[in-house]
Each structure stands twice: as structure tokens, then as C-alpha cells.
Amino acid sequence: MSVDQRFKGVGVAVVTPFNEQHEVDFDAYVRLLGYLAEGGVDYFVVQGTTGESPTVTPAEKKRLLELTKQNNPKKLPIVYGIGGNDTRSVLEAIAAADLDGVDAVLSVTPYYNKPPQAGLVAHFTAIADASPVPVILYNVPGRTVVSLSLDTVLKLAQHPNIIGIKDATSSLEFAMQLAWKAPKDFLLLSGDDNLVTPMVSVGWHGVISVIANAFPSEFGKMTWHALEGRFEEAAAIQYSFIDFDTLLYVESNPVGIKKCLEIKGWSSSEVRLPLIKASDELGAKLKAAMLREGFI
């Protein structure tokens, strides 16, 4: 068997636009979906952590998912974020969600309560058992503290409803170990935009990207150059993003990428507390980098 082809390439972790009153700007969200689809992304990831899922209400999440389904003329696959640090609440959220038309669930490792590896296995097994659609693990220890070990991922990969992982450990050794030891039909997706080309070079299948919100065409070209073995061309684009990628996280995600979208005229840079929107200094640095690299 091969990996699920729907999720190769570039999935974009879609931001949630807000207006100045910090209400969800649903019109801007629909415009952004159109921009991303025309830019060539391969699928949408709705209400991942880049979508500020911790501060978006259940009713808002429901509406954002509905709008994604309704404004998807290219019929791109849809991945929906459902995760948390209370397994029971995650299972309730899965049961309550309308997953008709959703192709997979992305579920982040539990944060704050620091479960052991056996707890992580039990947590994700319960989610996979309950979910009517396939589950993609999301490993991001920089935000959750806890990290899935290699043995834990390999154990979870045996579950028939766990089809892959988005990994943001920034570890090429971990990436190589997974590419070597995971089942051949297990989907391997980078969660680190600045490591996509090297990760693909050792057998990974694509990325769930932050940068692609503002630069879908450029990031898509880079990723598919790599997937099709044109590593020199992929590297040239990857290098243009390296310094830029670092800037995006200086004041936390999605603060930086939302500022880029504002600079490009697609949506406001507003975020919800406890995040605050980009400082003038960061905005100036991002705009200068975008001009320098030819992104605007």
C-alpha cells in the first residue's frame, strides 16, 4: 500500500481572520480560501493551532468548517483540527462535529499535563477508535512540552485509523528514523516549514504549512520540486524562506503570518488575547524581507 495521496504536497494551516472588534471575519476567511486554492495548495487544514483554535469558540469552529465545505470549488481535501489535553473532551468534540465532507482529523499532543508515552498511546488510540475519519497525529513539543517518541509513533502507526503524523520537532534525525522504520503507507508531513526540502529528501511526503497562508504558490512550487526530485530548484526557494521563517515566530504564531497577509491585503493582522498583533518593528522587518525576497 502507498500513503494517502490526498495529503501529499502542501496542506495549509488556515489562519482565522478577525476584525478590529476581534470577531471572526467570515468574509475575509472565504476570500482567503479562494486565494489559497488559486495559489495551488493541495488541501486545507481548518482549526489547527495556527487557526488560533484555543480561542475560537465551538460555534465559530462549526461555522468555519461549514464555510470551508461550501467554498471549495476545487474539492480540495479538508483536515479538521480536534485535539486537547482532556481525552474525554476531545471524544465529545469528535462526536459533536459534522465530519461529513471532512477527510481527516488532525489531533495535537496533549499540552500542560505531560502524559507519559503510555498515556499518549492510550489518548490517541481512544481518539482513533472514536473518529469516523482517519486521524493524523500532530507532534509539536515546542508548544505542548510533551513529545511523541519514535517507539510511540511506530506503535500508533499500527492502528488502522491513524494514517500519519505532522511532526514539528525540528529534528532531522527523528525524521530519518521515521522514514526508515514507519510503515510504507504511513503519511509523513513536516510541521517545520524551513525543513521541508531536507525532510522530503529522506522520504517525507509534504508539509502542513504556516507560510503557505501568504505564499501558497511559492511554497507549493518548492514542495513539489522536492517531491519530484528537483532538489536544486527546491533548495533555491527553501533558502529564500529560511531567514523569513524565523521572523514569523519572533512574536509567536500566527502573529507573523497574519501580518504578512495584512501587508498583502488579504486580511487583518488582528489576533485574540492573550496574543497581540505584530509590533511595528516586526511588521517593518517582515515587509523588508518580503521585498528583499521578491514576495511582494
Which domains, from first to last, does the chain contain? 5-230 (3.20.20.70)
DSSP string, 28-64: HHHHHHHHHHHHT-SEEEESSGGGTGGGS-HHHHHHH
Residues in binding site: 50, 208
Q: Is 166 a catalytic residue?
A: yes
- What pLDDT, on a 0 to 100 scale, did the predictor assign at position 174? 98
Residues in binding site for pyruvate: 50, 208
**Do residues 25 and 268 lie in contact, with contact meaning Cβ atoms separated by under 8 Å?**
yes
- What pLDDT, on a 0 to 100 scale, did the predictor assign at position 120? 98
Q: Is 138 a catalytic residue?
A: yes
* Beta bridge pairs of residue 13: 45
With a cut of 50, list the residues of the chain below it in pLDDT. Answer: none
Output DSSP code: residue 122.
Answer: H
pLDDT tens for 148-175 read: 999 999 999 999 999 999 999 999 999 9
pLDDT tens for 22-35 read: 999 999 999 999 99
Give me the catalytic one of 138, 155, 258, 285. Answer: 138
pTM over 0.75: yes
**Do residues 80 and 114 lie in contact, with contact meaning Cβ atoms separated by under 8 Å?**
no
- What pLDDT, on a 0 to 100 scale, did the predictor assign at position 282? 98
Residues 6+ apart with CB under 8 A from 123: 87, 90, 110, 115
- What pLDDT, on a 0 to 100 scale, did the predictor assign at position 158? 98
Give me the catalytic one of 8, 155, 166, 259. Answer: 166
Residues 6+ apart with CB under 8 A from 9: 41, 42, 43, 206, 220, 223, 224, 227
